[in-house]
A = this chain, B = another copy of it.
Amino acid sequence: MRITAIRETTTSLSSPMRNAFIDFSGMTNSVVAVEMDVIRDGRPVVGFGFNSNGRYAQGGVLRERLIPRLLEADPQSLLDATGHNLDPARIQACMMTNEKPGGHGERAFAVGAIDMAIWDVVAKIEERPLYRVIADRFNNGNYDAKVPVYPGGGYYDPVKGLDGLRTEMQGYRDSGYTLMKMKIGGGSIDEDMLRIQTALEVARDGENLAVDANAALDLDTAMNYASAMAQYDLAWFEEPVDPLDYEAYSEMAKVCTMPIATAENLYSRGDALNLIRHGGLRRDKDWLQFDPSLCYGPSEFISIVRMAEGMGWATRRHGPHGGQQLGLHLAAGLQLGGTETYPLVFQPFGGFGDETVIENGLVQPPEAPGLGVETKSKLYNMVLKPLIDG
Contacts and interface: CB of A to CB of B under 8 A. Distances in A.
Interface of A: 10, 21-24, 26-28, 54-61, 64-65, 97-109, 214-215, 242-247, 265-268, 270-271, 273-274, 277-278, 294
Q: How many copies, total?
A: 2
A289 B294 CA distance: 28
27 contacts: A21-B100, A22-B100, A23-B98, A56-B61, A57-B60, A57-B64, A59-B60, A60-B60, A61-B106, A100-B214, A101-B243, A102-B242, A102-B243, A102-B244, A102-B265, A102-B266, A103-B105, A103-B108, A103-B265, A104-B104, A105-B267, A106-B107, A242-B270, A244-B270, A244-B274, A247-B277, A274-B278
A59 B246 CA distance: 32
Name which of A10, A105, A271, A274 has the most chain B CB atoms within 10 A of its CB: A105
A70 to B, nearest CB: 14
Name which of A10, A102, A244 has the most chain B CB atoms within 10 A of its CB: A102
A188 to B, nearest CB: 21
Contacts of A102: 215, 242-244, 265-267
Contacts of A243: 101-102
Query: Taking chain A's interface residues, is the majority helix, strand, or loop, or is none over half, making it mixed?
Result: loop
A10 B65 CA distance: 13
Nearest to A28: B64
A203 to B, nearest CB: 26
Contacts of A21: 100-101
A265 B99 CA distance: 11
A248 to B, nearest CB: 10
Given A58-B60, A60-B58, A60-B61, A242 B101 contact: yes
Contacts of A244: 101-102, 268, 270-271, 273-274
Nearest to A69: B26
The 9 closest A-B pairs by CB, nearest first: A105-B105, A60-B60, A102-B265, A106-B106, A244-B270, A102-B243, A103-B105, A22-B98, A101-B215
